[in-house]
Structure 1
């Protein structure tokens, strides 16, 4: 995955990827980051995720954002962003990355575009990524 090192230097930082063979163009990512700071990078896919614990600070679309626990983060393909811990214990999060063609095939909607970067919605089921990818 673009922007993510193959291995972190600090043992407190860890991440796992999962590709779904039955759904090409879908990648699941689960990470707990405490020390690592992501340099500016992009992804070729749409990113939809949930902050499970802690908080993340990141630069996106020319502004600083903070995504706290239970917030939803959405990002468009090929948009430059960073990422680092906002809290001393870091942040744990799950993302699903969907290639544009796959998102269109799943939803039947063309020309997706997320305008809102961080959303706090108490009614949103924040366990949905875990339902897709339970921790083993």
Structure 2
């Protein structure tokens, strides 16, 4: 079933940029693992989702579609307004790379947790422990 323009607009307005379900899952996991953190540091490039100031480390939680991940969900083409969304996702990827580069230049160690990684919580736990423990 195809959505009308009004329905699509309503859906797009509902998409949040912070406190998303994947972000809350990662935060909950980190809290269970004993890590404490700060949220959404607006003074850092890209406004990282999760920040560990004492460790100079931070985490972005990215939606696979919105940030152009190479997984099944991220690689699927948009169904409508294809040219617009292809360009939009491409700009998102470029912006993400600029932010990661700038954060590295500022001395921050950044990692991206992709939405698809939430399917295997044990592997995600290991990845986060490896990142934060070093």
TM range (shorter): under 0.3
Larger radius of gyration: 2
TM-score, normalization: structure 1? 0.25
